[in-house]
């Protein structure tokens, strides 16, 4: 009997995690896909997925299309009931051509009058970017590095419309960056050698990116 009750509880719990939709309300996501030179990219696969994030969160593919000859798309789909349900637009998700893929993540609050206008979405060609790797060489236990940021052209793969714009990038991360450009690197160094006074200094560096992978070391 206990096994039967446990099974029923599991079924009810999992079913309650399914995403519910408002059958009478439709919302729209639209935009235009272009390359770095502002040329429209036709026949790009576009998918809309809803995601109830969490351990047992559900994911639904609720609409899909391809861009027209002008690179434009418009998708109409039922509105999820939960305010915290992520609505994700996948562009070129299978990456079968020369362009990168991209995900734009939003919530219902990003839809103004039931519409989310994504405007122009830039896709870079895969061959147009290379890798920048930051290596942190810590030489003193009394020093700490933080607020590492790079300022340059990056082919972003995930755009979160509700993310903190000032959120710090994770130190030591590898970055995909556009070839043949100059990257401005900035970071903050804190020195705890004197327990009564923390010395904080801001540092900047200029990194030249050509066509090959660049490894940049920070010793502190």
CATH of residue 169's domain is: 2.60.40
Residues 6+ apart with CB under 8 A from 31: 72, 73, 89, 117, 118, 119, 120, 121
Check which CATH number belongs to the domain holding 92 and give it: 2.60.40.10
Residues 118 and 153 in one domain: no
Residues 6 and 108 in one domain: yes
pLDDT at residue 17, as a whole number = 61
Residues 16 and 107 in one domain: yes
Residues 81 and 160 in one domain: no
Residues 7 and 74 in one domain: yes
Residues 114 and 160 in one domain: no
Q: Quick one: pLDDT band at residue 172, thresholds 50, 70, 90?
A: low
| Cα 146 from Cα 152, distance rounded (Å) | 19
Mean pLDDT, the chain, as a whole number?
87
Query: Could you tell me how many residues make up the chain?
Result: 220
Q: Report which of residues 208 and 195 the model is more confident about.
A: 208
Task: Give the count of domains, the chain.
Answer: 2
Residues 115 and 139 in one domain: no
Residues 116 and 138 in one domain: no
Q: Quick one: pLDDT band at residue 54, thresholds 50, 70, 90?
A: low
Domain that holds residue 27: 2-122
Which pair of tokens denotes residue 212?
């090959």
Domain end position, chosen among 70, 102, 122: 122
Nearest in space to 205 (alpha carbons), one of 145, 158, 157: 145
| Cα 207 from Cα 184, distance rounded (Å) | 6
pLDDT at residue 164, as a whole number = 76
Residues 114 and 182 in one domain: no
Q: Which residues pair with 18 in a beta bridge?
A: none
Q: Quick one: pLDDT band at residue 207, thresholds 50, 70, 90?
A: very high
| Residue 55 in this model has a pLDDT that exceeds 70 | no
Q: Quick: pLDDT tens for 94-105.
A: 767 799 999 999
Residues 136 and 154 in one domain: yes
* Mean pLDDT, residues 130-142: 94
Which pair of tokens denotes residue 199?
């010395």
Residues 11 and 74 in one domain: yes
| Cα 144 from Cα 220, distance rounded (Å) | 8
Domain end position, chosen among 122, 152, 174: 122
Q: Quick: pLDDT tens for 59-68.
A: 999 999 999 9
Domain end position, chosen among 103, 122, 141: 122
| Cα 138 from Cα 123, distance rounded (Å) | 37
User: Rg of the chain over CA atoms, in angstroms?
Assistant: 23
Residues 23 and 118 in one domain: yes
């Amino acid at each position: 009997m206990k096994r039967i009750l446990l099974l029923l509880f599991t079924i009810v719990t999992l079913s309650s995690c399914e995403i519910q939709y408002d059958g009478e309300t439709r919302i729209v996501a639209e935009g235009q896909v272009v390359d770095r030179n502002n040329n429209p990219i036709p026949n790009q696969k576009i998918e809309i997925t809803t995601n109830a994030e969490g351990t047992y969160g559900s994911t639904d593919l609720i609409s899909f299309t391809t861009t027209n000859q002008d690179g434009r798309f418009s998708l109409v789909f039922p509105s999820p009931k939960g305010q915290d349900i992520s609505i994700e637009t996948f562009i070129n998700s299978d990456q079968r051509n020369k362009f990168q893929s991209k995900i734009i993540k939003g919530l219902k609050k990003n839809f103004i009058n039931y519409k989310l206008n994504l405007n122009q979405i830039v896709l870079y060609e895969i061959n147009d970017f290379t890798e920048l790797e930051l290596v942190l060489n810590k030489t003193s236990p009394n020093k700490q590095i933080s607020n590492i940021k790079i300022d340059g052209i990056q082919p972003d793969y995930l755009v979160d419309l509700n993310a903190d714009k000032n959120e710090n990038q994770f130190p030591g991360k590898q970055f995909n960056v556009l070839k043949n450009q100059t990257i401005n690197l900035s970071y903050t160094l804190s020195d705890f050698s004197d327990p009564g006074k923390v010395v904080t200094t801001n540092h900047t560096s200029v990194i030249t990116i050509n066509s090959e992978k660049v490894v940049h070391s920070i010793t502190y």
